[in-house]
Structure 1
Amino acid sequence: MLVEDSLVVRQLLAHIVSRDPRLALVAAVASGEEALREIARVRPDVISMDIRLPGIDGLEATRRIMALQPTPIVVVADAVEDASLRISMNALRAGALSVVEKPVGTGHRAYEAIADEICTQLRIMSQVPVIRRRPIGAERLIGAERLIGAERLIGAERLTGAERPGRPDAAAREEGREPAGLAPGLVAVAASTGGPPAFAKLLGALPADFPAPILLVQHMGAAFMEGFADWLNGVVPLAVAVARDGVRPLPGHAYVAPGDRHLALGPGGLLSLSDAPPVGGQRPSATVLFRSVARAAGPRALGVLLTGMGEDGAAGLLDMRQAGAATIAEHESSAVVYGMPAAAVRLRAAAAVLPLDLIAPRLVRALQPAGPP
């Protein structure tokens, strides 16, 4: 089902969908109210949701759909409009699964790429089973839960004290500086489908003075990454920004991989951006980030692999564990799509497997100075 108030864009989306033999259009409506009336009748497998609608907007329509008849939703948004981006990110937090760029005219040079991405997202997300989830805080967070073609979790091992990232020496701390090289510990986190709300919950549970920098990889269209970082910066205590080449990451700050560029930790603990070929079809790649952290930080780092489709990050997380870093994969009970974490579990790359709401407390404990035996 297409939900789009512009007749021109609605017709363009219908044309795009018609090109894919695996997709069939069951309804095309101009408002959230119409979508709510039609959804019980046509029972779509997936919904393409415009975010700027007359009457109730796409965010409210998403909330109501997920409360009444949970259905996979792909948000179609104008990537360059700040207000639209904020609503789009909040729609993801309310249960939508992904966000794609609004299509351009057939004569535009980007038309084919955007049209292909829209069809790909609609096909993939139509296969994600979604269910209601209990309210979290004051907000009803609804989303997808359960695995996609992945095996059940194996038992998780406990993080040992030896796996905790290191701390700076006392003399350097008293002098107001860190030892040469890395800050005291570093956290690398990656996600794909379901990542934005997962990042908001994870980082939102960390204190503003979190004693380590955090490097983030999120699979999302390049046009949305600046807006995603700005949105995340506004909903969590930490300072969040898009990563810049050559910057030294600071404690209490989170750095988001920019669109269509790999993020890595380079020599001397500086951030490094690269246009190298995609790894496993992804750029930025979680595996690229994790492997660089394994090389540069070794046991001083901590890696976290969250919800997402596919296997990106699993091999890199294994490299981190083999280098002595503490590693965590999200448990299937909280993962929107249990693909990337499941791959890490199968490789035994995760030293711990935890529901999302238990990961932040584990990070805080792992970065505390070791007490007496």
Structure 2
Amino acid sequence: MRVLVVEDSLVVRILLTHIIARDPRLELAGALESGEAALAAIETLRPDVISMDIRLPGIDGLETTRRIMATRPTPIVVIADSVEDSSLKISMNALRAGALSVVEKPVATTNDGYEAVAGEICTQLRIMAAVPVIRRRPIGSEWGARRAAPAFEPLASPEPDTAPSVLAVAASTGGPPALAKVIGGLTAEFPLPVLLVQHMGAAFMDGFASWLDGVVPLSVSVARDGQSMLAGHVYVAPGDRHLELGPGGLLRVSDGAPVGGQRPAATVLFRSVARHAGPQGIGVLLTGMGEDGAQGLLDMRKSGGATVAEHESSAVVYGMPAAAVRLNAAARVLPLEQVAPHLVRLAQRKPS
């Protein structure tokens, strides 16, 4: 897998080339110092994946990402400084523009966290190199070669008619723009609290919540243990912590063991909603690699809750939703643009 490194800092550029050289599955296609240089060389270098710095001189990483996705779509992994608010905001907007994931910048080899950061960078580059991307896509209309989505998939059973009390949503790869689309389609008067799991490096979760708060009408914050839920508020699972709905509608945040290799895990969230909300819960599983959330969504459906999986036609990575569909865990299978209107309809149900 050929990797193009775009990084203006010579020190970080050298660190990244050393990190890539350690992995026999990765090959360095080039190491460039600017977005302009990357745009000029991409057709010649033809990388399988790009490591993209976000704070570049001249054309920054966000604009470089946009132009690459418009001219020669290539999987992009954003390499960002997790402690700078401005860098975090640009990083999240780069994900919305077509980048697939964001990871922490490497630090000096003598730093205690170097090995973990280096390993995560290699893992993300390998995984994302295999993700098919297309020319800058409007969300919901990409993947034109895939099976077209019907207005609604046939139901194996009728949906519950119980008035809902909570909405749980989960996503992984491709999640930030999908969540911006879905939650952005809910009005500020949305009558339910929203619990959210997004797979992302722990260092970026506060920045992700802050970014999402700025692009959707609902109030978004990182969840706290013991917190009471409020309607029209979004509670994001903290980095490297599970988020659960507890007894009495209180939130639980824990460092329990990873489930399916994930913490936070969508399945942990969905199962807690199945236990404590039953038919009053709504579960939504969006784009993502792997199978996290599928078993939990099935538990929600068995408990009488309303369940939704994103349709293949719009998912950036049709992994997690596909696993839910295989299990018959989703009562509805919808393209992204239809999810928010469906949630609004469900939220308006009255007690039977």
Please say if residues 146 and 335 of structure 1, whose CA atoms lie closer than 8 Å, have aligned partners that are also in contact: no
Please say if residues 165 and 367 of structure 1, whose CA atoms lie closer than 8 Å, have aligned partners that are also in contact: no
Q: Which amino acid aligns with 1:326?
A: A
Alignment match, 1:43: 46
Change (3 A) 1:226 1:6: same
Please say if residues 196 and 235 of structure 2, whose CA atoms lie closer than 8 Å, have aligned partners that are also in contact: yes
Structure 2 SS opposite 1:328: strand
Partner Cα separation in structure 2 for residue 153 and residue 319 of structure 1? 25
Partner Cα separation in structure 2 for residue 144 and residue 93 of structure 1? 17
State the identity as a percent.
70
Q: 1:264 aligns with which of 240, 244, 259?
A: 244
Q: 2:75 aligns with which of 67, 72, 75?
A: 72
Change (3 A) 1:291 1:152: farther
Q: Shift of the alpha carbon at 1:223?
A: 0.3
Please say if residues 294 and 323 of structure 1, whose CA atoms lie closer than 8 Å, have aligned partners that are also in contact: yes
Partner Cα separation in structure 2 for residue 24 and residue 124 of structure 1? 14
Matched residue count: 348
Partner Cα separation in structure 2 for residue 365 and residue 159 of structure 1? 19
Please say if residues 129 and 146 of structure 1, whose CA atoms lie closer than 8 Å, have aligned partners that are also in contact: no
Q: Which runs of 5+ in 2 are unaligned?
A: none
Partner Cα separation in structure 2 for residue 12 and residue 319 of structure 1? 45
Alignment match, 1:6: 9
- Whether 1:295 aligns to 2:275 is yes
**1:207-226 alignment, distance < 5 Å:** 207-226=187-206
Cα displacement string for residues 259-297 of structure 1 (whole angstroms, at most 9, x for unaligned residues): 000000001110001111100000000000000000000
Q: Which amino acid aligns with 2:177?
A: P
Alignment match, 1:175: none
- Whether 1:156 aligns to 2:153 is yes
Q: Which amino acid aligns with 1:104?
A: V
Cα displacement string for residues 12-66 of structure 1 (whole angstroms, at most 9, x for unaligned residues): 0000000000000011000000000110001000000000000000000000000
**1:172-321 alignment, distance < 5 Å:** 185-321=165-301
Q: Shift of the alpha carbon at 1:185?
A: 1.6
Q: Which amino acid aligns with 2:299?
A: D
- Whether 1:132 aligns to 2:112 is no
Please say if residues 149 and 313 of structure 2, whose CA atoms lie closer than 8 Å, have aligned partners that are also in contact: no
Q: Shift of the alpha carbon at 1:163?
A: 1.6
Q: Which runs of 5+ in 1 are unaligned?
A: 167-183
Please say if residues 73 and 136 of structure 2, whose CA atoms lie closer than 8 Å, have aligned partners that are also in contact: no
Change (3 A) 1:152 1:235: closer
Cα displacement string for residues 151-200 of structure 1 (whole angstroms, at most 9, x for unaligned residues): 9999933497752442xxxxxxxxxxxxxxxxx52100000000011111
Alignment match, 1:179: none
Q: Which amino acid aligns with 2:305?
A: A
Structure 2 SS opposite 1:199: helix
- Whether 1:367 aligns to 2:342 is no
Change (3 A) 1:71 1:165: farther
Change (3 A) 1:350 1:161: closer
- Whether 1:23 aligns to 2:26 is yes
Cα displacement string for residues 315-353 of structure 1 (whole angstroms, at most 9, x for unaligned residues): 000000000000000001110000000000000000110
Q: Which amino acid aligns with 1:269?
A: G
Structure 1 SS opposite 2:27: coil
Structure 2 SS opposite 1:280: coil
Alignment match, 1:118: 121
TM-score (structure 1 length as normaliser): 0.89
Partner Cα separation in structure 2 for residue 355 and residue 120 of structure 1? 29
Partner Cα separation in structure 1 for residue 67 and residue 85 of structure 2? 24
Please say if residues 146 and 338 of structure 1, whose CA atoms lie closer than 8 Å, have aligned partners that are also in contact: no
Question: What RMSD, in angstroms, separates the aligned Cα atoms of the two structures?
Answer: 2.2
TM-score (structure 2 length as normaliser): 0.94
Q: Shift of the alpha carbon at 1:369?
A: 3.3
